[in-house]
Amino acid sequence: MIGPDEYHGSSAPGLDDNAYTNVTAAWVLARTLDLVRSLPQVRRDELRERTGLQESELVRWDEVSRKLRVAFHDGVISQFAGYEALAELDWDAYRARYGDIRRLDRILEAEGDTANRYRASKQADVLMLGYLFSPTELRQVFARLGYELDDALWTRTVDYYLRRTSHGSPLSGLVHGWVLARARRADAWTYVEEVLAGDVADVQGGTTQEGIHLGAMAGTLDLVQRGLTGLETRNGALWLDPVPLPQLSEYGFSLRYQGHVGITVQVRAGDLRISAPASQRSPIDIRLPTTTLSLAPGETCSLPLHDR
């Protein structure tokens, strides 16, 4: 297989046990099983008849979703099996020599070398897991595979790959900003600002004239709405876990959830305020890390936030 970072595995025979690929595959299989098993029996029978799906296949999917391998080295998650055998790059020397090393692959090629032999990534690979999954969900997937993923292991992994990423993609800063926000670190905003400036400042030197990075622009909005607030819809509830950032004195937005149109979420220094518009709808189940509440239509709730 080829992992997301694009520096490794592009030549045959590719990579073994890329962590991002194996973990996401395990998650997809597990969620598919949950969906199939949640169907009423009559719907399951219809699905089986239409697709030819056999019960033995479900058993096999469950087995595979628990046995995919994740490698580790030096107390962190390995990007892929054998990653620790790659050479270390002298990042300080390359930054001193070239300044901007976003296109590290081209720099090394010009020197007759290749990024393929170094512990270097173009963009997030392992850390994409922290972009796609909340900390709770990521721990659950690792547990399904038989591994314990605690905060210390994930923090070491984040630090390890941050030091070894050239950010050669305009989306790299966005993903790392999200990962750092979820790791509850204020330096997430540094990456967010870089993404926001990507087209305005043409940070990659000539790409803006070829077209704006609409995905990066939309991603920064999504980061504020879901990343910084910890917004999730899970188990019939609206989950929030905001990240107080000193660079933003206040931010907020509105959303639609379970038929409620115009729910507003506002985060200020030390305070989370959420309001539901008046309607005949049922109350909304709101869950925070230390609090669970029911918000009725027409109500506003203000809750204190604590830096962590």
Q: Return the CA Rg of the chain.
A: 22
Q: So which residues are the catalytic ones?
A: 6
Question: 87-93: long-range contacts at Cβ-Cβ below 8 A with a sequence spacing of 24 or more?
Answer: 87/117, 87/118, 87/119, 88/118, 88/119, 89/118, 89/119, 89/120, 89/164, 91/163, 91/164
**Strands 284-288 and 237-239: what pairing?**
parallel
SS3 label, residue 108: helix
Q: Which helix (H) or strand (E) holds 29?
A: helix 19-38
Q: In the chain, what's the furthest Cα-to-Cα distance?
A: 68
Residues ≥6 apart with Cβ < 8 Å to 144: 26, 30, 65, 66
Distance between CA atoms of residues 94 and 188, nearest Å: 24
Question: What are the tokens at 195?
Answer: 């993404």
